[in-house]
Structure 1
Amino acid sequence: MTTEKPLPFVYQFAAGAVAGVSEILVMYPLDVVKTRVQIQTGKGVGEDSYNGMVDCFRKIIRNEGVSRLYRGITAPILMEAPKRATKFAANDAWGKFYRNQFGVAKMNQSLAILTGASAGATEAFVVVPFELVKIRLQDKAQAHKYNGMIDVVRKIITQEGPLAMYQGLESTMWRHVLWNAGYFGCIFQVRALIPVAKDKKGQVFNDLISGAIGGTVGTIINTPMDVVKSRIQNTARVPGQVPKYNWAWPALGTVMKEEGFGALYKGFLPKVLRLGPGGGILLVVFTGMMDFFRTIRGDK
């Protein structure tokens, strides 16, 4: 994420974790709204349904209180450390692997996309259980069943089985493959197109622009898989019954057939408002932390 001398992995991990938590704390309410809209089928009629992002915000605050916009935040915060460790380790490992396989000395846009997609698929294995817990806590209809994060884990394991903690793995992999490919591919291309920053202020601006564009493109590409993932993970498994939403691509077909193509982009506005600017925040904080570590190490 920076053109300067790379630091040891532990510093990349710490910087990524700080950047990820910063983004969550600022943008999490948009994630709650996105999930509520995505798991809703049909039109938003009545107090328990939502007719878009603003209506969802208004009804949550009015009927449940502002604190509900942060319900389930513990899971993604705890997820950040292993998620970032996996992301950066996988991104580095896959990058080296592909450069060796293709005999390419430097990263290019095609390799950036391929490496990002591979890192996203790897990252999904770490993310799924945390995402499952978060989705169950964010859903108003299911929130009363659970008394916090630990209770969600306990009840899912006892009622649905240990393997249920990895419910939605396939759709999560598709979601992360598509987002990371779009995000890292765009960052590489945008940075190559915009003028090189002459000072620190210019570097921050460039990071905000490239990160925001990358986050927006990634969101446009992966939103249908995110809708499907939310519905798959929000469906409690019942022994002997095949769930309505099970595998990613058939579930896409079900949503499109029953609700139309537009339903695949439910929750897009809060999602893009989070991951567009959020991608910029992520890049700026990460770069800033890496610069800070270089300063204290005496590398600058």
Structure 2
Amino acid sequence: MAAMKTNGTTRKTNVFSHIRYEHMVAGFSGGVTSTLILHPLDLIKIRFAVNDGRTTTIPQYRGLASAFITIFRQEGLSGLYKGVTPNVCGSGSAWGFYFLFYNSIKTWIQKGNTTTPLGPTMHMMAAAEAGVLTLVMTNPIWVVKTRLCLQYGRESDGSPQTRYKGMIDALTKIYRHEGIRGLYRGFIPGMFGVSHGAIQFMTYEEMKNKFNQYRNVPIDTKMGTMEYLAFAAISKLIAAAVTYPYQVVRARMQDHHHTYAGTWDCVKQTWRYESWRGFYKGFGVNILRVIPATVITFITYENVSHYLLKKS
């Protein structure tokens, strides 16, 4: 809460007054839709990312097609959807919270006037703050999703505490055997990942603003599907290329088949044994997944949010 004095009168401004739950509903809808469609690619990306070439319990795939066929043959259709429940919960809640926090912070900075342009720096700051808040709330879900995606057809260690029956069982066992630290594995590289969202949202917002200014209409004017599609894809591609290495480090930190002394140890080992290529393992699969996922999420969000806000 902050108080501002204007002409002898005190006007109170509160960030909570700018919260619109329509953004959360729209973000949740977009995240769930894209996740249900593209989860198999996410699972394969994670398996590629954690494959350091030295851990014998990890299956080896020759490429994307090989991974699809091998997983389907050995684990069935359900194998391609391992970890889908926490992924749906994680993506839905993450996008919902992110859009809620981002738009609340942005509107607060704009003092309630959504037609006020903020510029790249303020867009990036709002996106970064929203990213930190979202990560704090969703990191345990991402740990569970990673663990479930990395349960292969036959676990060599057979340890009951690392075999999970589902999302709730995984949350319970991780907390029981590893404590809060276990649920927040990968949190530090995840914090670096906040820059991913900041770059993406800054690029996306600036392109939208410039396009609407070119059309001589207010910057919050609804655009066509093709414009949203193009801006979402371009912004995601730029952010993914710049920040992908943190995703590899985070996945390896969360994988129970690997043991690292900490984030820096993971970075050093990856560089020592795999050079820079190790930090981009699974990048191709990731691009095939995140570009359509982002397009689906953003188009769903923009249309649902405009519909809900118009009705409210």
**What TM-score results when the alignment is normalised by the length of structure 2?**
0.79
2:245 to 224, 231, 237: 224
Please identify the structure whose Cα radius of gyration is greater. Answer: 2
Aligned amino acid, residue 262 of structure 2: N
Matched with 2:302 is 287
Unmatched runs of 5 consecutive residues or more in structure 2: 1-17, 156-162
CA apart distance, 1:259? 0.8
1:181 to 198, 202, 208: 198
CA apart distance, 1:265? 0.5
CA apart distance, 1:245? 5.4
> Relative to 1, partners in 2 of residues 1:197 and 1:47: Cα closer, same or farther, differing over 3 Å?
farther
Alignment size in residue pairs: 279
In the alignment, the residues of structure 1 paired with residue 38 and residue 109 of structure 2 have an alpha-carbon distance, to the nearest angstrom, of 34
- 1:82-113 deviation line (CA, Å, top 9, x unaligned): 4244313432354367668xxxx631122212
| Structure 1 segment 85-100 matched on structure 2, within 5 A | 85-95=96-106
CA apart distance, 1:47? 9.3
CA apart distance, 1:43? 8.1
Unmatched runs of 5 consecutive residues or more in structure 1: 1-6, 238-242
1:244 to 247, 254, 260: 260
1:212 to 233, 243, 246: 233
CA apart distance, 1:190? 2.7
> Relative to 1, partners in 2 of residues 1:54 and 1:18: Cα closer, same or farther, differing over 3 Å?
same
Matched with 2:186 is 168
In the alignment, the residues of structure 2 paired with residue 75 and residue 58 of structure 1 have an alpha-carbon distance, to the nearest angstrom, of 24
SS in 2 for 1:279: helix
Asked if structure 2 preserves the Cα contact closer than 8 Å seen for 1:215 and 1:278, the reply is: no
In the alignment, the residues of structure 2 paired with residue 272 and residue 283 of structure 1 have an alpha-carbon distance, to the nearest angstrom, of 16
Aligned amino acid, residue 106 of structure 1: P
- 1:2-39 deviation line (CA, Å, top 9, x unaligned): xxxxx961111111111110111111111000001011
> Relative to 1, partners in 2 of residues 1:275 and 1:35: Cα closer, same or farther, differing over 3 Å?
same
In the alignment, the residues of structure 1 paired with residue 62 and residue 275 of structure 2 have an alpha-carbon distance, to the nearest angstrom, of 16
In the alignment, the residues of structure 1 paired with residue 306 and residue 58 of structure 2 have an alpha-carbon distance, to the nearest angstrom, of 48
**What TM-score results when the alignment is normalised by the length of structure 1?**
0.82
SS in 2 for 1:146: coil
Aligned amino acid, residue 164 of structure 2: Y
SS in 1 for 2:224: helix
CA apart distance, 1:295? 4.8
Asked if structure 1 preserves the Cα contact closer than 8 Å seen for 2:19 and 2:100, the reply is: no
Aligned residues with identical type, % of pairs: 24
CA apart distance, 1:209? 0.4
Matched with 1:74 is 85
CA RMSD, 1 decimal: 3.0
CA apart distance, 1:222? 1.9
1:10 to 21, 30, 37: 21
SS in 1 for 2:80: helix
Asked if structure 2 preserves the Cα contact closer than 8 Å seen for 1:37 and 1:52, the reply is: no
Matched with 1:27 is 38
Matched with 1:107 is 118
Asked if structure 1 preserves the Cα contact closer than 8 Å seen for 2:21 and 2:100, the reply is: no
